[in-house]
Every structure is written in C-alpha cells, then in structure tokens.
Amino acid sequence: EKLTGRKIHGLIGYEFLRGRELFIDFDNRMISLRRERKLQAGGDQPEGVAFSSLMHLPVVKMKINGKTGFFGLDTGSEINILNSRWEKRFKQHKREEGQLMGANGVTNKVEKIKVGNTQIGSTVVANMDFHFVDLRSIEEAHGVRLDGILGFPFFQEHQVSLNFSDQKLYFW
C-alpha cells in the first residue's frame, strides 16, 4: 500500500486460481474469473499456447527477434524483464536507463531496450520495452531456466486468459 498509494484489499494467489480461467482486458480495465470456458462450436476459437508452472508462475516458450526463451507471465509486474544473460544478444540495440523498484521499495537503475519482435505462438507484438535484470538467483534457487518475465506492457496489448485447468494462455 505504501508503494502504490492505494488500499490493497487482498491478493489472489494460485490456490484460488487453480481450476479457473483468469480473463484480463486492460483496455476495458476488467479482470474476471470463470470455472470453465465453453466455446461455441464453429465460433472463433482463440489461439491457445501451453504453459508450464514455476512455483505457480505460468511460463511460456516464446521468441524475441527470432531467439527462443522461456518467460514467466506476471500480471503484477509493471515491466517486461529480460535475463541479463541476454544482453550480448542485443548489444547492437540502443539502450536507455530505466528504473526497477523491488518489493523492498528500493529503486535500482537498469538498462532497457525496445525489442522489435516478440512472438508467442502466432501472436506477435512489436516494439515492446524490456529491462535487463539478473535472474540467476531465481534460476539457482529453483533449478530452472528463466529468460525473462512478461508483465503489464505485454498484457496491455491483448485480451488474454490464463486457463489454469488446461494450462494454456489464450489470445482473444
């Protein structure tokens, strides 16, 4: 509450989301939950992209400028993150200084770049900002590879749903 200046009435965690589908529509400032989705036969079917889970964080396989990586989906993150080990892949990109505030309230300076092409399944997003952050501690603690995190800049581009029953990300 101190960081955001807003009253927080509670948090929705994985235990609550398990077995449900979370719809996110940032344009209309709407989030909704459903127990199950019923698609109409012959109607428009959304594209579904499988995700796995890392400590209850959905992780999708995606491409950034043609390079494949594994990215966590974090609806609470205000920025997109690229693991700092990707920096050499983007050494030709123009860099700007950005800021990242941690949960402890401390602000750190980080470099950010604009990525021309981000693709999940057949869905492409152009010109998204990513901030370089060292994610080694998360990778080492959980024995996984995490190339980055998709936050608000990604979710604001689409109407999406995260179906925790069938472990798929849908684009509407």
Return the pLDDT at 148.
96
Return the pLDDT at 170.
93
**Distance from the Cα of residue 8 to its chain's centroid:** 22
Return the pLDDT at 130.
95
With a cut of 70, list the residues of the chain below it in pLDDT. 3, 36-44, 103
Nearest residue to 123 via CA among 69, 29, 49, 16: 49
Return the pLDDT at 35.
80
Query: What's the pTM value of the predicted model, to 2 decimals?
Result: 0.84
CA distances 172 to 7, 69, 154, Å, are 31, 23, 14
Q: How far apart are CA 165 and CA 96, in angstroms?
A: 40
Return the pLDDT at 41.
53
Return the pLDDT at 75.
86
